[in-house]
Structure 1
Amino acid sequence: MECTQPDFWEQRYRAGRMPWDLQGVPPALVDYLRRTAATGDVLIPGCGSGYEVQAFHEHGWRPRAIDFSPAAVERARQLLGPLAPLVREADFFAGDSGGPYEMIYERTFLCSLPPARWPDYARRCARLLRPGGRIAGIFYYGVDPDGPPFPLTPAVAAQVFDRFELTVDRALPATASLPLYAGFERWQEWQLKSIGP
């Protein structure tokens, strides 16, 4: 599928056609960073313009952001200035994503992937996280099969994230989302289950 290839996204970044770009840090992440004292290493896959890098950095986290679109990486580095080295071009599934991490931050990356890749995403996250680590962020739910964006359903999410436990789940107000996602986003935190002996 085209959306699994860098050129699909490269063309959109180069043309400025980015309906997923919030032009800033999502309020849900701002709230999370204010209410939690946790810090550590965080991976931001499919980082796009990279706004969240600075937010994590300012709250004591050690962010690493990756995208496989050169245009996205270039844009993020320009926007981040002195924090530009925290962004690099890499394929989440094939490249060196570093780690292990306390957290993998999610916003618009999972829903950009065709559903057939979602189990690969969850397995890759499980490998990159420290024991007890989590995937946290904004997840897109709905029923429209003609993505991207591709929406989750609760039943599918439970299957995809079978190695994780859903510890936080709350709907975001439509006013906190872009029109493309309004009314369909949820802040969720999925904690990696401990593996028995």
Structure 2
Amino acid sequence: MQHDEKYWTDRYQNRQTQWDAGSITTPLKEYFDQLTDKSLSILIPGCGNAWEAEYLHDKGFENVYLADISPIPLADFSARCPTFPKDHLLCQDFFLLNDKFDLIIEQTFFCALHPSQRHLYGQKCAELLKDRGKLVGVLFNDRLNDDHPPYGGSKEEYLEFFIPWFDIHIFTTCYNSIKPRAGRELFIHLTLK
């Protein structure tokens, strides 16, 4: 069962967005604070309210792109961050994107995909990245739900989706998760093969 635009738009309209931390989370903030090249092209797929993009934009990163299948979070983000370029807001299915990026940020998008789509995620990220591009972010290392998002899983099962496409630099339990996610997240740092 894939979750389409109507499904996610209904979730936003009904304020069923329990995954939203309300601000950038510590693992990504600390990773971003290490980046020095503000010209990097960065994609945040399934961006939701995109607290990560707001943080990057405020720090002067100029090539951040947001993709979401629902127009609601993109409109809300645009209202919250009016100086963010409108043409960097992509209301589109992730699997239909075809641009190239230096960096893809994973933050509660993978867990929103139905498990039947997961094998396509690593491949699509690989297609969207420039040579030696990176996929960085967090994944839930928890069973969570079987019948609706967020879908959970484990490091062992996730690795099979990434190993064909990426060199694994970091794939380990987060030491700096926000309190509600402590001990339940993996930090990943992967480079395109």
* TM-score when normalising by structure 1: 0.86
Given that 2:27 and 2:176 are in contact with CA atoms closer than 8 Å, whether structure 1 keeps it comes out as no
Large movers: runs of 4+ above 6 Å: none
Given that 1:49 and 1:79 are in contact with CA atoms closer than 8 Å, whether structure 2 keeps it comes out as no
Residue 113 (str. 1) matches residue 113 (str. 2): yes
* Cα displacement string for residues 90-129 of structure 1 (whole angstroms, at most 9, x for unaligned residues): 11112xx353111110001000011110111111111110
Distance 1:182 1:91 in 2: 30
Stretch of structure 1 that moved more, 117-126 or 52-61: 52-61
Distance 2:172 2:29 in 1: 15
Aligned pairs for 1:68-79 (under 5 A) are 68-79=69-80
Given that 2:27 and 2:177 are in contact with CA atoms closer than 8 Å, whether structure 1 keeps it comes out as no
* Cα displacement string for residues 46-91 of structure 1 (whole angstroms, at most 9, x for unaligned residues): 1111221122232535100010112122212112221151323111
- Kindly provide the amino acid, as one letter, of the partner of residue 150 in structure 1: Y
Q: Which residue of 1 aligns with 2:184?
A: 184
Distance 1:31 1:190 in 2: 17
- Kindly provide the amino acid, as one letter, of the partner of residue 81 in structure 2: L
Q: Which residue of 1 aligns with 2:14?
A: 15
* Cα displacement string for residues 109-162 of structure 1 (whole angstroms, at most 9, x for unaligned residues): 000011110111111111110111111011111234524111232221221002
Aligned pairs for 1:39-188 (under 5 A) are 39=38, 40-57=40-57, 58-60=59-61, 62-83=63-84, 85=86, 86-94=88-96, 97-146=97-146, 147-162=148-163, 163-173=165-175, 176-177=178-179, 179=180, 181-188=181-188
Distance 2:123 2:177 in 1: 33
Given that 1:76 and 1:87 are in contact with CA atoms closer than 8 Å, whether structure 2 keeps it comes out as no
Aligned residue for 1:143, secondary structure, equals strand
By how many angstroms is 1:184 displaced?
0.9
- Kindly provide the amino acid, as one letter, of the partner of residue 61 in structure 2: G
Change (3 A) 1:32 1:175: closer
Distance 1:152 1:63 in 2: 29
Equivalenced residues, count? 188
* Cα displacement string for residues 15-43 of structure 1 (whole angstroms, at most 9, x for unaligned residues): 22210111111111111111232441011
Distance 2:60 2:171 in 1: 22
Stretch of structure 1 that moved more, 15-24 or 144-153: 144-153
**Over aligned residues, Cα RMSD in angstroms?**
2.0
Aligned residue for 2:83, secondary structure, equals helix
Gaps of 5+ in 1: none
Residue 28 (str. 1) matches residue 27 (str. 2): yes
Distance 2:79 2:106 in 1: 22
Given that 1:33 and 1:59 are in contact with CA atoms closer than 8 Å, whether structure 2 keeps it comes out as no
Change (3 A) 1:184 1:119: same
Gaps of 5+ in 2: none
Sequence identity (%) = 25
